[in-house]
Amino acid sequence: MAAGREAIKWGIGAIIVGISSYIMDAYLFHRGTAWPLTNSFFLASLFYSIFIKRMNPEDPSSRIVLAVSGPIVFGSAISLMLLLKRTYNADPWFIIFSFSVTMLPYAVAVLAYTMKRIKAKQDSQ
């Protein structure tokens, strides 16, 4: 039961990060600054750095958090791409770059989780 509560807490955190990142991105792009991409990267990096420090490979809530937050981060990256294309008619390479940068913290979190899980399996043998 504790694993479920932990997963819900992290899932809510991922939703808050995704929504606030999108809102701030839209606001900052509307103001004409180029910082939203940095903002998305910073918020996602902050969330996943805290998650990586606290995750436990044996705890099922870590897997649930990655499963829940993945589509949220992906959706945020897609919405940023659409915002860049439709509103600002950005260059396609910049759109691809922004998608990659937005997805990078999630990829690092999945890699860290996988490495911790492999290490835990090796230590148990």
Cα–Cα distance, 5 to 2 (Å, whole number): 5
Q: Is the pTM of this model over 0.85?
A: no
Residue 31 domain-assigned (yes or no): yes
Per residue of the chain (125 residues), what is the pLDDT tens digit? Answer: 566 676 677 777 777 776 776 676 666 666 666 555 666 667 777 777 777 777 777 777 778 777 777 787 787 777 777 777 777 777 788 778 777 877 888 888 888 888 888 888 888 87
Q: Residue 14 domain-assigned? A: yes
Residue with tokens 């290490």: 119
Residue 78 belongs to a domain:
yes
Whether residue 125 is contained in a domain is answered as no
Range of the domain at 109: 2-120
CATH classification at residue 55: 1.20.58
pLDDT at 1: 55
**Overall number of domains in the chain:** 1
According to the model, what pLDDT value does residue 37 have?
60
Chain centroid, CA 93 distance in Å: 21
**55 lies in some domain:** yes
Instruction: Assess if residue 79 is contained within a domain.
Output: yes
Is residue 113 domain-resident?
A: yes
Flag whether 72 is in a domain.
yes
CB-based contact 116:79 (threshold 8 Å)? no
Structure tokens at 61: 């809530």
Residue type (1 letter), 46: L
User: Please, which residues have CB within 8 angstroms of residue 46's CB and are 6 or more apart in sequence?
Assistant: 17
Our CA angle for 32, 90, 15, nearest 5°, is: 70
Task: Give the whole-angstrom CA distance, residue 110 versus residue 93.
Answer: 25
Q: How far apart are alpha carbons 58 and 81 in whole angstroms?
A: 35
